[in-house]
Structure 1
Amino acid sequence: MSLDDRSKNILDELVSHPSVTSTTLENKYELTRRQLGYSFNKINDWLQAKNLPVIERTRKGHFIIDQAVFTTLNGEEESELVDPAILNEDQRVYLITMMLLSSQEELSLNHFTAELEVSKNTILSDLKQVQAFLNDYELTIRYSRRAGYVLEGKEFQIRKLLINVTYQLVQMNIGKDRVRKLANIEPAEIEEFKRRIEKVENKLSLKFTDEKLATMPLILILIFRRIEQGHKIQYFSIKYEELSGTKEYQAAQAIFHNYEEVPVQERLFFTLHLLTTNVYWSDYITDNDSSPELLPVIDNMLRLFEKSACIYLQDREQLMEKLQQHIKPAYYRIKYQLTDTIDSQSVMNKEMNELHHLVKRSTGPLADFIGKEIPESETTYITMLIGGWMRRQGESIERKVKAIVVCPQGVSVSKLMFNELRELFPGFVFLDSLSVREFMDYRLDYDLVFSPMSLETEKKLFISKPFLSEEEKYRLRKQVMLELHGYIPNDINVHHLIDIIKNHAVIEDEQALTNDLQSYFERDEEASVKQTLKSRDLHLNELITPDHIKIRQSVSSWEEAIRISAMPLVKNGEVDPEYVDAMIHRTGEDPYIIIGPNIAIPHAAPDEGVNEVGMSLLRLKQGVHFTDDYKINLVFVIAAVDKQQHIHALMQLMQLAGSEADRKRMIEADTVEEIHKILDQYSIEKETEITK
């Protein structure tokens, strides 16, 4: 990401003369307040991308600049702030692509060499790069002596390419004048469309960014030319009703006023262009038009992020508005596959990579809402927004303890261990649960490793069983805290802690605070863990009652085994039939449902048809092949409504899976009653252990 000339000059002025005011900058560079505000936003976006503090502006027009900005920028080379004057390969690729999009005559190698002032060999090499660029749009370059070099592919894809390339070229130093020259566009044409766009702004209370005011006339002119040449969008997957009620459609209608020959699908395409653009106007957030209800989705995203990052985001409503401003156009970009790919590593430093990982893990609600995976570029921008917000409030995951869980016993056990440890250490950022192979190639930075086995690592390693009793949890917590901080939690001196707090905050009632802290640190840790486990009162024998057990000699397939095992849950209404289909589908994606020899726990997500928590069992005497490597005799179907209610029973099942003798007893049992007695045994033993 680079700065345009105007933004670079303003940033240079701010760094050189930090006492300068907004009014002085407006006068010096002949800018309107709006133009200065736009450049100011661009500068802050650029600073955020470099993980630098943003520049704040006071109500009186003065600027507050962090020392880190001065230190960093004074040591940077000029080339980092602005594109060089000499055309590089990327710029030549964009220029060649623009010639292919806009030329009104046949193009030969001579046209390219004359325009770009490079050799034919260079152009031939550049054309290969152009084709690589076009592959993302499913377009190809074709050459013939009669027609020269031309683009081939769907017109919708060509329009996407046209919009992106125009934007990229206008951002470069070569600017819109180079585009105008290449496309042979008269200044009067640009002024005509600028007037139309400005009228739309006034009529509909819209405010396009300066960036869009610069590119939109060029895009409109080039689109009109393609329409006149017969290049029209023949198929448009968006229904008229989806877009016709939006302000953006009204804007498109106003811009196309007096152009009766423009078909409806072309007007809809330009409406989609406006919807996918970060356009801002005064009532943008409050005016819903027919835009999707995004706020609950964004709220769920932020809650997941806060839990993963162990932070509390202040001024959440303001952050949600800022995110909605970005995510509304992103919704349409993602839904209709109009997002351009970017290299996230180019704008991510080490801490941002970890933050990006946590943000990416929290975008599930948005992906579910849109029905598509969130592209990397959209996640990157959301990361930058949240990262900037965290810096404003002095938060950083860099200062938090970051941990990973490495478990060789499969995805299900690994996730269970991950969740248990995250509950045990709520102040740690748990980045991932990994297999040993994934751990060997893991790239994110971390401080601690939890694993049931010894690993080669330079980080602090804590050996932990996948399933811990309350006593084992208590010991592990003490061990970790002693290793990290040099103290056991109960040994904190409250009076020393009060002295530390006094150095940073005003205490209104010191005695009350002392009493509350004393009560907190002297609480019974074992009782706390015990109470948490007692609240999970669903035991294995309670969920798998005799009528939830099926006995068969054999079945013909793994799919049939799941259907028979799930029959009691479907019959009782605990799951819908769709949940069974989801389990079968998911087993193809997750071979790690095998939790022990001869035992599998097929399951799907709670929102795929679970009505209430439940478990059921199919016992197969002869077993069924799950894969060539696994033969299953005990199929435990799990239906979970959340991440908690079934955990207690699942831990009991894991203990059963670890006993070769009891597995064999269940496989050889002749009656449902014999099988349930074994389940009783594990439920009673677990309950006794918990209440010791």
Structure 2
Amino acid sequence: MLTMREYQIVTKLLEVRNEIRIKDLSTEFGVSTRTIKYDLNNVKYWFRQHELDFHSQPNKGIWIACSEAKRMEAKHAIMQMERRKLYPNQDVRVRRLISILALTVEYVTANELAERLEVSRNTILSDLQFVEEMIEPWMVTLERKQRTGYKIYGEEIHVRLLLEHIIQTELSNYDIYQIMTRMMKKETQDIHLIIEDQLVAYYHIVEKHMTAMFDSPFMQQFNHSELLTTLLRLTISLTRLQLGFTVKTYKLLHTPPYKDNHTVFLLTLMKITYEEACFPLLEDEYLYVSGAFEKETNQMDIAHVTEQIIRYVSEQEGINYKQDSRLYSNLLAHLSLRFQKGTMHISEFNPFTEEIKRNHTSLFHHIRKACQTYITTRSVSAQDSFIAFLALHFLVSYENTFKKKQRARALYVCSTGRGVAKLLKSRVEREVPDIDIVAYCSMMEIEDICKREEVDLIVSIFPITADVPVIVVEALPTKRDINAIRQQVENVNKRESPRLQGSFVQSHKRENSEEISQEIILKGCELTQELVSLFGPDLEESRKNAFMMHVCLLVHRCYFEQQYEYTGRVEACMNERATIIRRLFFEKDLKINEAEITALVQYMN
């Protein structure tokens, strides 16, 4: 039997086509190389069972050599494995404990939990400490009652959102693919999902009715994230009702006043599903499944929240993200669409969540803290997937705008400080792109130049002693000299660069013709003037400059087809302001999408 980590190693080896170093695996999983080597004993045995050749070589790594057909067959076998039968690691045990406690009415003893997870009582007691830490951001607490057991306590909506998060965390890309494929192709073959037994019966009821309705025009308007969220929320709703828990009241649902396609589909699905499960259709259950319980977000000042999140993260990270207007507009658009009125608030599936939490812990923590402070709905801001999506915006900003490619600063030393220095500078910078020869001098000037220019290395035709690395080269560098310089530059650039304290560095420059620049500037100015004249009374004085800058940059994005795109469904803004914005951009021969329109409208009262 494989452990969870061994299962992940097998999956990784089947997904990649090149060698993987054991050291890299130990870094990824946060364990020692010796532990990984122990894990590989079971991994090798699994591959032998499936007639696959496992290769390893010192200083190279480990890899699988086989045909694509065999690789796909093995991937199918590992994905079909019932992961519940794997030896669970602590993360898996903690998530299972939360699921068990969320689906239990009475207190559960440590011995009962140990028996269900097939581990010792002491292991369970240790895991329960981590359970408390994980559920705290969801405003759910772990109750301990002496000689009675454990139970989780919190508002029903928070418990359900926590349970939904736990289930989605367990889902792999392959699981989601299987779920969607079963519904699209109306397949009946069972799949192995890691969900508790209490959920299984209701899950199949909901899936059956969603499959029957899959071809309806109403359902086609949902994206896969919304369908998955609907499936999980209906399953959780029915299961919690069966346990005797309702969101708030037992008030029956009266048909909502609006009749859009999404509402019609959801109401139809819920009626037939609840009828088969023998439950009444309650108003609060509809609000939970549709996400409409988060009404307070409709009054949120999205523009102000965006500014505050960027300000807080900038202060905590020591990077002046406030200077990146592209980050502001993308974040504003994302939050506007995430919390726009009438939108289904889905628990977005983000495949990068764990990687971001592991590799960018500080950024993830600071964004979470900012969201909990400035977003009124803490139950939404606590979701790891939501935080990870916001972190992606900051990471893109850092990579594209603030992270200047590290270039080694070099000093060239020759006999006079002139001679062939310019020729060498040209050749070296052409052959070694990550170097800047910032000065050239004679031996008499080395100390002064090094202090003034803060050089990382010295290229010299003489053997000299210095506090920085020295590469001795021929007067006209040979190929071997160039390789030596390149190697030293790589060593310098591997050092951790200091954080940018508020500097704004352009990572690249677009080479646009003068005519294109003039056209963008003119259209930007014209649109800005027209919009300000029309919406001036609706714009607070403190936001007017930001609005004008946003419009100018938006024109630039429209011209180069770089508008913000939201991954979910975007509800078209149908108010008068949105109509005017569409018309003005159309008149200027610029195509603007709904995400950008939604962001612009947020500036106005």
TM-score by length of 2: 0.39
**More contact order relative to length (CA 8 Å, sep ≥ 6):** 2
Question: Which one has a bigger Cα radius of gyration?
Answer: 1
